[in-house]
Amino acid sequence: YSVAYWKGGNTELESRLYVPENFEKIVAWGGFSSMKHITRYLQPGMELIAMDPKLSGTLIGKEAFESEASMREVAELIAMDFGGLNQEACASARVISVESGTDKAGLARLNQLAEYAYEALLALPPEASAPHRHFDADLKEEIAAARRSRFYKVFGGDDRGAVVVSQIPDPVDFAERLGCRVANLVPCDDIEEALRLITIHTQTIGVYPESLKAKYRDKLAFLGGQKIVSLGHHLSGNLSLPHDALEPIRRLCRWVSESDMTVDTYKGGLRKLVRLAS
């Protein structure tokens, strides 16, 4: 087989490259414009395997606040989900909805959880996560602006990352740009309120506690969620398993079958069917 990696954009070359005589499948990922661009080359014999741009989210129930120990445990799991791989994966946690309550006491609980999560982020082993070498300058400005606003509370904010806590039941307006080990914790009075954030662009959804999975998995799938995991396992998985709501490994293969329909084989098959029927 032959594989070619091409960044895309040169239509003169692409018009000669993307033809069934050369390739059977195009695996494309990126933003909306790049995905739209590639569709012009599709024709019979040329299949598109689209890895659309995805974001991932997290749902944490009120059980996280049952004790100091549970808060610490949940904070460590949160840090693993948005700190692992330096938050470069589409499966990384970004906006984290927490059933803390939106009153003064609830926000106090949420802020404490965020502080623990930031501490846990800094404690992650360097082979799993590390301060970002090329921290997004625009994102850093957004974090600085959030720190000055009464609607947010910020833990961290330098190259080591940050946890931005919404003091209102809405994500930050720069949620789609979260990266470089920066998470946004959002309060809600009922975890069902957080389902409004799940869309067809949501890939992985971390859930705590486990009981919430059975309760909401059907609705999460209906809303567009594609992978429901335990909190702390956003980045766990196997490439042979479904990804982006499809099985890319199977889709990448060209499936060919051979049938032996000789007389002896055919008669043997008939005899077997007769025995089974009797």
Structure-block tokens of residue 205: 């959804």
Range of weakest confidence among 4-8, 86-90, 170-174, 269-273: 269-273
What is the model's pLDDT at position 141? 96
Q: How many CA atoms lie within 13 A of 262 on its CB side?
A: 3
What is the model's pLDDT at position 158? 93
Smallest CA-to-CA distance from 14 within 37, 33, 48, 35 is with 37
181 has a pLDDT exceeding 90: yes
Give me the percent of the chain exceeding a pLDDT of 70: 96
50 has a pLDDT exceeding 90: no
Query: What one-letter code names the amino acid at 221?
Result: A
Q: What is the mean pLDDT of the chain?
A: 91
The pTM (predicted TM-score) of the whole model is 0.83
Q: What is the architecture of the domain spanning 55-230?
A: 3-Layer(aba) Sandwich (3.40)
What is the pLDDT averaged over residues 205-227?
94
Residues 6+ apart with CB under 8 A from 33: none
63 has a pLDDT exceeding 70: yes
Residues 6+ apart with CB under 8 A from 8: 14, 28, 30, 34, 37, 38
Q: Reduce the DSSP state of residue 236 to 3 states and report it.
A: coil
Give me the percent of the chain exceeding a pLDDT of 90: 65
What is the model's pLDDT at position 265? 67
Choice between 125 and 278, residue whose per-residue pLDDT is larger: 125
Domain borders along the chain are: 1-53, 55-230
Smallest CA-to-CA distance from 189 within 102, 87, 96 is with 102
DSSP 234: T
